[in-house]
Structure formats: C-alpha cells, structure tokens
Chains A and B, each alone.
Chain A
Amino acid sequence: AQTVTQSQPEMSVQEAETVTLSCTYDTSENNYYLFWYKQPPSRQMILVIRQEAYKQQNATENRFSVNFQKAAKSFSLKISDSQLGDTAMYFCALNTGNQFYFGTGTSLTVIP
C-alpha cells in the first residue's frame, strides 16, 4: 500500500524568509514520481514541482526546490524568499502507475 504523510498541519513564515515543508512516503514500487501541489484559498490546485524517483538530482523551480532522500523516503519542499502569494495549502503527492496518493496537507501562511 502507498501512503503519504505530512506531519505539519500548519506553518507560518515571515515574508522574504525561507520555509521547509516536510513529507514522507511509503511505496514498494521502484518507478514512481513525487509532486508538490499548491491550493491557494478558494482557488484551483496547481502543480508546484515534481521529482522523478530515478533521478538523484533534486528538482528546482525558481524559488521552490525539493530535498529528495530516496532511502529515507523523504520529500521536503523548500520555499525561498517567501511571498504573500505563497499563502496556500500544500499537498505532497505520490504517483505510481495511474494513481495518485495525497498527504493531508500543510497550511502555509506568509506573514507580511
């Protein structure tokens, strides 16, 4: 069975600071993908960043980067230079085959 765990229900960060959101997962599959999705208040869920499990290099998208530790089954998201628009619910997701498995989410608030 596949599981995704986000142990931080809520977090806050000062504008312009850096914050890291944690995610651990479990799967017996060798080929899988990991994603971070962002859901702003009352807005659509959008993809932030993705990581292929077979790639050792950590993915980066502008201010967003991940720390992928395959052996530890850990996939954390680092947001640098936090902006007010980063305030949202963040979901970690595991993709194996055609199915996705989501964590329970972390609500991030960026404080001006």
Chain B
Amino acid sequence: DVKVTQSSRYLVKRTGEKVFLECVQDMDHENMFWYRQDPGLGLRLIYFSYDVKMKEKGDIPEGYSVSREKKERFSLILESASTNQTSMYLCASSLYGRDYNEQFFGPGTRLTVL
C-alpha cells in the first residue's frame, strides 16, 4: 500500500510562530507536493519538488518555504504564521515521468492560526 503520512492531523499555532508541517512517503516517489485546500477554492499548489534539494514554486508560495533533504520527506515551513494561513494542508507524492502518474495524498493537516 502506498503510504503518505503527515506529522499532525490538527495543529493550533499563534500568530508569528514558526510552523513545520512534515510529510513522509514510503513508495520511493520522486515528486512531492504541498497543497492548500480552502472551501470554494479547491486545491492550490504551494510548492513541489522533483528531487532531493530541488524545489519549485507553485501558485501561492508567498509566506511559505519548503525543505527536501531526503527523498521520502518533504517539509512545509511557515516562517511567521498569520491568521490567513489557517487552512487544510495536503501533501501528495507521485512518480516522475511523462507517463500518467497518479498522485497519492496524505490525510491532511488542519492548521489553525490564532
């Protein structure tokens, strides 16, 4: 079974705190993604990574950074959390290549910033 796990299901932080969301996949996938999910807006891509130490900005990277030191782990960092970053965060992984590559999702982290 493909498994994508996220470090927390629910997280409550205060404005200005540094927040780390971690994602681990066990299927040796090259690609990893961080999305933000908000009602009526669907999934919006924050950052993605094709390989270790590589990262690419998605549609809404402002206020976020990422780290990929190992192939199986992709971290999302909120340098200084703000209330408008309250949201559901989804991690996903997929194989690399031009053929179809289904994305496998983690359970999500619901982050509340007070």
Chain A residues with a Cβ under 8 A of chain B: 6, 9, 31, 33, 35, 37, 43-47, 50, 52, 91, 93, 95, 97-100, 102-105
Contacts and interface: CB of A to CB of B under 8 A. Distances in A.
Interface of B (DSSP majority class): loop
Contacts of A98: 31, 48, 50, 94, 96-97, 101
Interface in B70-109: 90, 92, 94, 96-98, 100-103, 105-108
30 contacts: A9-B40, A35-B102, A37-B105, A44-B105, A44-B108, A45-B90, A45-B92, A45-B105, A46-B105, A47-B102, A50-B102, A52-B100, A91-B42, A91-B43, A95-B100, A95-B103, A97-B98, A98-B48, A98-B50, A98-B96, A98-B101, A99-B48, A100-B33, A100-B92, A100-B103, A102-B35, A102-B42, A104-B40, A104-B41, A105-B42
Which range contains the number of B residues in contact with the other chain?
20 to 34
A95 B33 CA distance: 13
Contacts of A50: 100, 102
A5 to B, nearest CB: 10
Interface in B8-55: 31, 33, 35, 40-43, 45, 48, 50
A46 B40 CA distance: 19
Contacts of A104: 40-42
A107 B31 CA distance: 28
B16 to A, nearest CB: 29
A47 B2 CA distance: 12
Contacts of A97: 98
A88 B31 CA distance: 26
Given A46-B105, A91-B43, A93-B103, 5 more contacts: A33-B100, A44-B106, A45-B108, A95-B101, A102-B42
